């Protein structure tokens, strides 16, 4: 087995996140503009064959886990052949996918057959009006059906990711209760105010004029004016400790019992930076990812590949290492050289969360 490649700070790089596409069937306010991202020429994007070849090359350098993201990876016609090709790489031990869940009821059987191991499903609220306001084009029932499909077809674990934004006043206790009866792992992620005025998670534009057909966000008691992501700032980050206390208090009041530590080694596979808790007797867990209040840079083992062929060593930096041309040259050594350069320049930590030139849907965040 090939030894893993280490960056300049001794971290082994074993995890690759791949943005298969920057397109999506939703228009979430913290991810992309209401009209979607500008279309790009076909040859600007990596083909499935090029992505799989890149994975084969970096697998020989120690990468063992791959996560497919977007945009929404399930809108790409390349997703099934890509999963099959990656599954055929002997060194790859785990293939996961992040999705909004809307297409899982249709695609789950084929994804399982192709070799996908597990899924993360994004879900920021169980309130239908608020869900429509945040996603612009989505319906809550689509994502809930996607969770059901993921469980029915044996993906393990099934994680549900919620980005918590203070002014949205999300129904976090109701989300946490999804873990009570079914083996679902609900994870709450601290909001990270990244981006610039046009591209960032805190600067998605045109929200005020883009009210959903199912009602105005301003009229929604859960998020009065809250979905205008151009107003979000660092004060909208809810520290994990505060959120955990809030959920525990609600659970005690409801007679469920406070959250308890899940115990060392009892979290779901691919646990990453989350810390896991559970309600007494619950089938699943409740996780907290403290991206702001407790940085986990010192243990970061991941790199990112964008849909147009750039390697990004850190989500919070515009530094990119172009690998598309090396891939198309047919020279594996040239591809490996770009990979080595990118890994060598992975920063020790993000010094500040600053403006990025890409929308979140283009980074695969």
Q: Which residue has the higher pLDDT, 272 or 248?
A: 248
Q: Is the pLDDT of residue 23 over 60?
A: yes
Q: What is the largest CA-CA distance in the chain?
A: 63
DSSP state of 222: T
**pLDDT for 223:** 47
Task: Measure the CA–CA gap between 50 and 238, rounded to whole angstroms.
Answer: 40
Task: Measure the CA–CA gap between 361 and 36, rounded to whole angstroms.
Answer: 9
The two tokens of residue 331 are: 């020279």
Burial 229-263 (b: 16+ CB within 10 A, else e): beebeeebbbebeebbeebbebbeeeebeebeebe
pLDDT tens figures, 186-205? 999 999 876 544 444 333 22
**pLDDT for 296:** 75
**pLDDT for 207:** 24
pLDDT tens figures, 261-295? 997 766 787 656 889 999 999 999 999 998 777 67
pLDDT tens figures, 151-197? 999 999 999 999 999 999 999 999 999 999 999 999 999 998 765 44
Compute φ and ψ for 14, nearest 5 degrees.
-125, 0
Q: Which residue has the higher pLDDT, 206 or 1?
A: 1
pLDDT tens figures, 144-153? 999 999 999 9
Q: Residue 302: which residues within 8 A CB-CB, separation 6 or more?
A: 13, 15, 16, 17
The mean of the pLDDT values for the chain is 86
pLDDT tens figures, 307-363? 999 999 998 778 999 999 999 999 999 999 999 999 999 999 865 544 445 444 444
Q: Is this structure's pTM higher than 0.85? A: yes
The two tokens of residue 260 are: 């308890």
Q: The dihedral of CA 353, 135, 225, 206: what is its sign?
A: positive
pLDDT tens figures, 103-141? 999 999 999 999 999 999 999 999 999 999 999 999 999
Q: Which residue has the higher pLDDT, 360 or 240?
A: 240
**pLDDT for 224:** 43
Task: Measure the CA–CA gap between 212 and 138, rounded to whole angstroms.
Answer: 9
* DSSP-derived secondary structure for 40-108: --GGGSPPHHHHHHHHHHHHTTT--EEEEESS-GGG-TTHHHHHHHHHT-TT--EEEEEE-STTHHHHH
């Amino acid at each position: 087995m090939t030894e893993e490649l280490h960056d300049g700070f001794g971290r082994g790089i074993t995890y690759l996140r791949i943005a298969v596409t920057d397109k999506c069937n939703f228009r979430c306010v913290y991810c992309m503009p209401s009209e979607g991202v500008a279309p790009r020429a076909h040859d600007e994007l990596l083909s499935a064959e090029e992505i799989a070849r890149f994975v084969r090359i970096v697998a020989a350098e120690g990468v063992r886990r791959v996560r497919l993201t977007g945009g929404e990876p399930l809108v790409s016609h390349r997703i099934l052949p890509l999963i099959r090709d990656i599954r055929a790489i002997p060194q790859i031990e785990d293939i996961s996918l992040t999705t909004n869940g809307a297409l899982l009821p249709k695609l789950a059987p084929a994804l399982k057959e192709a070799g996908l191991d597990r899924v993360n499903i994004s879900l920021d609220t169980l309130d239908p009006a608020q869900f429509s306001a945040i996603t612009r084009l989505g319906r809550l029932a689509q994502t809930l059906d996607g969770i059901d499909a993921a469980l029915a077809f044996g993906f393990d674990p099934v994680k549900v990711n919620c980005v918590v934004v203070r002014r949205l006043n999300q129904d976090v206790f109701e989300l946490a209760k999804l873990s009570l009866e079914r083996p679902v792992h609900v994870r709450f992620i601290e909001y990270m105010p990244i981006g610039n005025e046009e591209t960032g998670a805190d600067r998605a534009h045109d929200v005020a004029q883009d009210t959903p057909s199912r009602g105005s966000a301003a009229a929604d008691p859960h998020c009065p004016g809250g979905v205008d992501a151009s107003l979000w700032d660092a004060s909208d980050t809810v520290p994990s400790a505060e959120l955990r206390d809030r959920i525990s208090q609600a659970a005690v009041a409801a007679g469920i019992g406070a959250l308890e530590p899940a115990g060392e080694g009892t979290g779901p596979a691919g646990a990453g930076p989350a810390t896991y808790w559970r309600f007494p007797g619950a089938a699943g867990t409740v996780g907290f990812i403290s991206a702001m209040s407790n940085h986990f840079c010192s243990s970061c083992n991941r790199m990112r590949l964008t849909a147009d062929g750039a390697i990004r060593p850190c989500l919070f930096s515009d530094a990119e290492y172009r690998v598309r041309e090396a891939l198309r040259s047919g020279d594996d050594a040239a591809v490996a050289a770009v990979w080595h350069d990118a890994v060598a320049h992975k920063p020790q930590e993000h010094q500040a969360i600053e403006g990025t030139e890409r929308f979140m849907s283009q980074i695969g965040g």
